[in-house]
Structure 1
């Protein structure tokens, strides 16, 4: 795919206005080729960059990545880039250069995916947009410094997406929004909002039978994998097993890999083998060993905020090596499936059902369902649901992560996101579903195997997400099964052992082994590093934890491993 750079002016600058000229000269020096311009901007691409081009009102639009036509697209009165985005889905960036009503350019990243847009500001009225951080840094004039204030905000809510990044002077356009640059300035517009597809906003109680969801998933997976030889990351869990089934049904030539942790809770070979055999795929089984992990290894990919944890980066390198050995050109992951299929252990679906139907019989069935999923008693579940029904929030809760952080960071600010600007809290279950979709956005980047758009997340395809948002939340717990609606969609099409599976694999055991093996190294890494020097972590609490020789049952060791990964990111930029 390669990448692009867009140099845009938003009016006369009071500062040195030569930043864009110098960036343009550097871009040409790097071999980038100009493909379009208007009175506001210049669009350049790297050699060999592929893109699609089409008319867009009084101008033209460019699409970088995998953009697919929607079968269910409806006419819209929107203009410019928003009129095109509603009829497409996929993992792509889009840019529209327009001449009416004034010279302007509009830029949007992928809705759910790895195609991002980074924003640099050479001067007050100049913008540099880049499809990768590496391109932006190559064209920018200075190495960015760490934004300590934003880093502190990140540490308290690491899975909350922000436009402002942890590197000074660099931002990201948030998914579902686009930037517009003209000589009148720069503004950001929201073009996609999850609330538009929820039952209370769409006016629909449900959106078809489970078979409709299966058809949507089958179509999205087939189009995502078309023309490639992908490596499926197959755990044998429900989500990845669905992908194996869909790839086989589409006739895709694919390979599969499962990673086996050194602890029993992460060994899912039994289920992975069942899924691979049913799909007719070859399965590579790769052992993960604690002794192969370097807890202080610099990240393989430069990111604008701390990326995947230490173990995830090790898994990334293992999978990438398997793909090279098998000749695969892309990766397919079931990441985001829990979010889209609303895997929940909460009582909020009961509250949604009661507020919608006021049926004691239906509410009690939902109580039994939640009790079966969670293992809690029915009376306890009912009590929690009654309590929760009287509890009115103004916005979805996003609990801060404050363990081992400095006291100054514990007074956490309210969260702001375009998808929470018009939040509807009358259905707390739906609100939690939307929140889970927001929370997956920062978790899709930072992987070496994701370079050049090679890492695909088919279950996060727009048509699938929108269909699932349209389902009442209690449908996802029906029959006492998590993700029940999606399980019904594939009932009879997949091995019963996979559909009936209740327990998910976990990495808790391997994290505990990792902490035990590198206890001293993690301690020294944290106490002698950037986070401690900046006063962002509570050094005394960290020292106390390590001195206590605790039994690893409290999961705080996971938080320390996580913070050690953040420390490594800081050292790479400091």
Structure 2
């Protein structure tokens, strides 16, 4: 189960609010199998809802020099320093003073990790989330009481009273289900995004952005290729080693790709055999198998590997099985995957590591716009080489590469890859896209507006909101806890400052990372530029459960709420052979939305009955 918490903040002098808080605290305590560990001070209560023995998350109380409580931090926190670090188990009064004086900003510059900070100074209560929003942070109000939580489904029903569906938000999720804008599927529940801060003590306060990647990226590092590779290698090793030090037993989910192989190599340096298991999910479908690549990495590193068969005959979850979360999550489709794990890997003390995040940071791209970035930095010593590299990376001719860059060299502003993807979905679904602001509202400003950034670097930055989606969004007692060590602030900030043409060294996607870890990887992995896919697995799984999905959608909540039209559903059902590549994706996305709508309706009905 992922890190999971619930928090209550209220005016300490309000007797009515205090009585209602006591009832909510009682509900939280009785809802858990074991009494949760908690932090409490006047006007603030936080409970850790994670299982006992969770190794990588804790409550850090904050106290000033006089010993007066100043709030607490939930999560895992490291100091900014070189090397593999141990997570902090306390903060000194002087550190607390700096954090309070800056309203939490000092956390972004002097520390890193996965955390939610609740800071209380006088009557002011502030909420702050780490830059990658690794621990979800939702909030709502019950009168004078602010309720903050990571997973609505792990909270008692008292947290879910008087909720109304946000149909407009659900329509946006139909267009692009990766979108995270601060809105959820309920009008009353909002989400605090990565690097944002909120003043909880002001009922109508809006979130403010504390962490913005654009100023970092506007100050690129000017390093030789060798020095850049060394900086990248050491930062990756430090981040992976630090996360490993925060965990007990680790199961590395090795896909067979470059990024997960790099994380595996870093773990092999710091973990002994008793602490580390290597697991590969061997997908049995028409997609090219990845097992041979995972085996090559383990053979090179002298590690054993456990291959777990994943067959498309595995049934999709039932449409009534989506947890009653604050919004739909595509991860619902993977419910039941944990059943294929051996018992020793199901312990709460086991943490799974992945290589997720490498595509965005090491830079998996075909864009030729790194050429503009190189020219705009004012150095021309390797102009011809970078022109050739841009053509190689994009697999286009030299003249087409130049034509792609010319508008930006003449002053065209950089474009947001996130905005382009959303508008493309609107076009494909034949939905009105004229008022683009309606569909983009709430997205981080830094993902939509480039400032003075060159086009290649802004393309990279504008995809970073997808990192928020790579986390544990559903709390389940049997669910695994997953850490993505590449999605760590020091590595993100380094990759923001490395030019995109250098990240794609030699005109090869993730070229700098390949150079940095050349001695840790077999040539088979280092030279591989293709990506593994599970497209045919999901298509075959849907084909096996077609009748279940079709029945659920034909007689379900989406139709009733007007979120799915009969003509659109008939068009999808007519393509049972899935000749259109988007059919199975749309069907599975709609099935997830339908399952969530049923969970929401079921919880509402239960609350009405009680």
Q: TM-score band, normalised by the shorter chain?
A: 0.7 to 0.9
Structure 2 residue aligned with 1:149: 168
Instruction: Tell me whether 1:498 sits opposite 2:506 in the alignment.
Output: no
How many residue pairs get matched?
564
Q: 1:254: how far off?
A: 0.9
Q: Check 1:538–1:376 CA distance in 2 against 1; reply closer, same or farther (3 A cut).
A: farther
Indicate conservation of the 8 Å contact 1:5/1:129, yes or no. yes
Q: 2:491 aligns with which of 464, 477, 496?
A: 464
The more displaced of 348-357 and 169-178 is 348-357
Q: Check 1:295–1:450 CA distance in 2 against 1; reply closer, same or farther (3 A cut).
A: closer
Structure 2 residue aligned with 1:175: 194
Q: 1: distance between equivalents of 2:127 and 2:69?
A: 14
Indicate conservation of the 8 Å contact 2:82/2:238, yes or no. no
Indicate conservation of the 8 Å contact 1:259/1:286, yes or no. yes
Structure 1 residue aligned with 2:290: 268
- Structure 1 residue runs without a partner (length 5+): none
Q: Check 1:18–1:481 CA distance in 2 against 1; reply closer, same or farther (3 A cut).
A: same
Deviations 1:508-535 (A, max 9, x none): 2223323433334333333332222222
Indicate conservation of the 8 Å contact 2:308/2:341, yes or no. no
Q: 2: distance between equivalents of 1:497 and 1:468?
A: 25
Q: 2: distance between equivalents of 1:410 and 1:295?
A: 37
Q: 1:149: how far off?
A: 1.4
Q: 1: distance between equivalents of 2:343 and 2:323?
A: 19
What's the secondary structure of 1:438's corresponding residue?
helix
Q: 1:406: how far off?
A: 7.5
Q: 2: distance between equivalents of 1:182 and 1:436?
A: 33
Instruction: Tell me whether 1:286 sits opposite 2:296 in the alignment.
Output: no
What's the secondary structure of 2:120's corresponding residue?
strand
Indicate conservation of the 8 Å contact 2:154/2:475, yes or no. no
Q: 2:209 aligns with which of 190, 207, 211?
A: 190
Structure 1 residue aligned with 2:126: 106
| TM-score where L is the length of structure 2 | 0.82
- Structure 2 residue runs without a partner (length 5+): 84-94, 602-610
Q: 1:35 aligns with which of 31, 39, 43?
A: 39
Structure 2 residue aligned with 1:564: 591
Q: Check 1:447–1:25 CA distance in 2 against 1; reply closer, same or farther (3 A cut).
A: closer
Indicate conservation of the 8 Å contact 1:93/1:109, yes or no. yes
Indicate conservation of the 8 Å contact 2:4/2:475, yes or no. no
Q: 2:113 aligns with which of 82, 90, 94?
A: 90
Q: 2: distance between equivalents of 1:387 and 1:323?
A: 57
Q: 2: distance between equivalents of 1:323 and 1:239?
A: 26
Structure 2 residue aligned with 1:53: 61
Indicate conservation of the 8 Å contact 2:549/2:591, yes or no. yes
Q: Check 1:409–1:117 CA distance in 2 against 1; reply closer, same or farther (3 A cut).
A: same
Q: Check 1:44–1:136 CA distance in 2 against 1; reply closer, same or farther (3 A cut).
A: same
Structure 1 residue aligned with 2:88: none
Deviations 1:72-126 (A, max 9, x none): 7999996242223422212222222223xxx222222343253222212112x43
Structure 2 residue aligned with 1:66: 76
Structure 1 residue aligned with 2:10: 9
Q: Check 1:566–1:95 CA distance in 2 against 1; reply closer, same or farther (3 A cut).
A: same
Q: 2: distance between equivalents of 1:448 and 1:182?
A: 28
Q: 1:553: how far off?
A: 5.4
Deviations 1:162-201 (A, max 9, x none): 2121123111211101222336864533222112321x2x
Q: 1:267: how far off?
A: 1.1
Q: 1:268: how far off?
A: 0.5
User: What's the Cα RMSD here?
Assistant: 3.6
Structure 2 residue aligned with 1:352: 373
Deviations 1:325-344 (A, max 9, x none): 69961110111111122211
What's the secondary structure of 1:140's corresponding residue?
helix
Q: 1: distance between equivalents of 2:503 and 2:231?
A: 15
Q: Check 1:327–1:62 CA distance in 2 against 1; reply closer, same or farther (3 A cut).
A: closer
Indicate conservation of the 8 Å contact 1:159/1:443, yes or no. no
Deviations 1:231-258 (A, max 9, x none): 1110110100001100001134311111
Q: 1: distance between equivalents of 2:191 and 2:477?
A: 17
What's the secondary structure of 2:581's corresponding residue?
coil
Q: 2: distance between equivalents of 1:34 and 1:218?
A: 33
Q: 2: distance between equivalents of 1:160 and 1:45?
A: 28
Instruction: Tell me whether 1:416 sits opposite 2:424 in the alignment.
Output: no
Q: 2: distance between equivalents of 1:5 and 1:107?
A: 13
The more displaced of 526-535 and 455-464 is 526-535
Q: 1:365: how far off?
A: 3.2
Indicate conservation of the 8 Å contact 2:572/2:587, yes or no. no
Q: 1:11: how far off?
A: 10
Q: 1:269: how far off?
A: 0.8
Structure 2 residue aligned with 1:380: 400
Q: Check 1:349–1:145 CA distance in 2 against 1; reply closer, same or farther (3 A cut).
A: same
Q: 1:235 aligns with which of 255, 259, 265?
A: 255
The more displaced of 338-347 and 109-118 is 109-118
